[in-house]
Amino acid sequence: MFDKLTLKVRDVMRFVAGKSRINEKNIEDAVDAIKIALLEADVNVRVVRRFVNSTVEEAKGEKVMRAVDPGQQFIKIVHDRIKAYLGGEDQGLVLKSTDRVSVILMLGLQGSGKTTSSAKLALRLKKEGRKPLLAACDLVRPAAAEQISVLAAQIGVPVYRGGEGEKDPVKILNAALSHAKKNLIDTVIVDTTGRLQIDDTMMEELSRIKAAAKPDELLLVADAMTGQSAVDIAKTFDEKIGLSGVILTKFDSDTRGGAALSLKTVTGKPLKFVGTGEKPEDLELFHPERFASRILGMGDVVSLVEKARQAMDQEEALAIQRKILKNDLTLEDMLSQLRAVKKMGSVQSMLEMIPGMAGQVSDDDIEKANFRKQEVILCSMTLKERANHLIIGPSRRARIARGSGTSVAEVARLLKQFEKMRTMMKKMTKMGRAAGGAAAMRNVMSGGFPPDMARGRR
């Protein structure tokens, strides 16, 4: 996600942060480089133009030129602007209280990921303690009802299907709604028919479904990989049907991120969720703040800790969080994190969240990093060694290498990497502590950039 953009923008940021003085020329050069990066990321041209004009204007203002640290000020401006283009604040679902039935209508073209996303949302709501029902209102594709039933069984959510030969989605919808009322269901997620292209028949059918459903949320499901066309589709659906938000799917495969960056400005509709894989768990609430930090290469400790929390049990995650803050992370923690990473699935997405790693890792690097090997090395250490890495001298290193079937160099590399991780955490902590703990860490990420992080030093 945003891989190339992140790399480019980081270069610019590093260049600017290194300047003790900023003049109009510096600013223009920097903004120009960002402009090219944005265009290459397939961001809408008009959006780029607006971004450039407003950033230059603000950056040339008194505040930046006269600031004690103008580089930091400039970076903050870019960060806040990217955050605003990504939609500003987090936008979750707006549903009724659980004593009534809320309806979520899923719209979009065929293959965009509607059915998958319906199941993902259902699972998410179930985890939040709601009682969702999936309504299979895609009657055009023969296998559609079957597909949603399989997914529903997988996540343990009920599904409502019409009878054999039923041709009218509105009938099924109405039946599903009364079924929901009788069965203490509080949220009905309606999967609809998509076509390969927007056409009048589809829009008419959706209008009828909308009128019957009186939805609380009208979500467009669009494929992020289609870039600007996802934004155009959102615009059309909003004009014809009306949307409350967008889910961008296949975010895991979209390296450019142009759709996410253009959507809010072009359509005025918020990006609420992103699909990050094919499994029912692979749906994330979209956090503009965190993505802005990620694009600037600041990593994203908040997401990291939260994601780890899902994979580890709560206790363990809290303990690690506490350790990060106290800076007494051990090799033992590294081992449990490695194992958590394996549980989490995508190593790439995990690494992207680590400060300084964003845009630095390719799949190739991940191969080289060889997580399994690291796990074996860590397992060949004694508990005492894992509790205190400082006792691991040359002879212990040799023993660990022998025991794990690796080389002394590989053991050394792991230890070095661990040191690096600790140093990085220490930097994060310093700024966190100075401003008062973990909550402040979040603030720091949104505003006051610590100088060495913004410079991208590791």
Ligand X SMILES: Nc1nc2c(ncn2[C@@H]2O[C@H](COP(=O)(O)OP(=O)(O)O)[C@@H](O)[C@H]2O)c(=O)[nH]1
Residues 115-154 that bind Mg ion (CB under 5 A): 115
State the binding string over 301-340 for Mg ion (x if CB under 5 A, else -). Answer: ----------------------------------------
Q: Tell me the window of 107-115, 343-351, 388-396, 424-432 that interacts with Mg ion (CB under 5 A).
A: 107-115
Residue nearest to ligand X (CB): 275
Q: Which is nearer to Mg ion, 93 or 106 (CB)?
A: 106
Q: Kindly determine how many residues on this chain lie close enough to bind Mg ion according to the rule CB under 5 A.
A: 2
Residue nearest to Mg ion (CB): 115
Q: Which does 253 bind (CB under 5 to 8 A by kind): ligand X, Mg ion, none?
A: ligand X
CB of 219 to ligand X, least distance (A): 12
CB of 43 to ligand X, least distance (A): 21
Q: Which residues bind ligand X (CB under 6 A)?
A: 108, 110-116, 194, 249-250, 252-253, 275-278, 282
Q: Which is nearer to ligand X, 276 or 303 (CB)?
A: 276
Q: Which is nearer to ligand X, 169 or 275 (CB)?
A: 275
Q: Which does 242 bind (CB under 5 to 8 A by kind): Mg ion, ligand X, none?
A: none
CB of 222 to ligand X, least distance (A): 10
CB of 414 to ligand X, least distance (A): 31
Q: Which is nearer to Mg ion, 59 or 155 (CB)?
A: 155
Q: Which is nearer to Mg ion, 22 or 144 (CB)?
A: 144
SS (H, E, C) the chain: CCHHHHHHHHHHHHHHHCCCCCCHHHHHHHHHHHHHHHHHCCCCHHHHHHHHHHHHHHHCCHHHHCCCCHHHHHHHHHHHHHHHHCCCCCCCCCCCCCCCCEEEEEECCCCCCHHHHHHHHHHHHHHCCCCEEEEEECCCCCCHHHHHHHHHHHHCCCEECCCCCCCCHHHHHHHHHHHHHHCCCCEEEEEECCCCCCCHHHHHHHHHHHHHHCCCEEEEEEEHHHCHHHHHHHHHHHHHCCCCEEEEECCCCCCCCHHHHHHHHHHCCCEEEEECCCCCCCEEECCHHHHHHHHCCCCCHHHHHHHHHHHCCHHHHHHHHHHHHHCCCCHHHHHHHHHHHHHHCCHHHHHHCCCCCCCCCCHHHHHHHCHHHHHHHHHCCCHHHHHCHHHCCHHHHHHHHHHHCCCHHHHHHHHHHHHHHHHHHHHHHHHHHHCCCHHHHHHHHHCCCCHHHHCCCC
Q: Which does 73 bind (CB under 5 to 8 A by kind): ligand X, Mg ion, none?
A: none
CB of 138 to Mg ion, least distance (A): 5
Q: Which is nearer to ligand X, 135 or 444 (CB)?
A: 135
Name the nearest CA neighbour of 170 among 190, 144, 152, 186. Answer: 190
Q: Which is nearer to ligand X, 102 or 112 (CB)?
A: 112
Q: Which is nearer to Mg ion, 114 or 294 (CB)?
A: 114
Q: Which does 146 bind (CB under 5 to 8 A by kind): Mg ion, ligand X, none?
A: none
Is 249 one of the binding residues for Mg ion (CB under 5 A)? Answer: no
Q: Interface residues with Mg ion (CB under 5 A)? A: 114-115
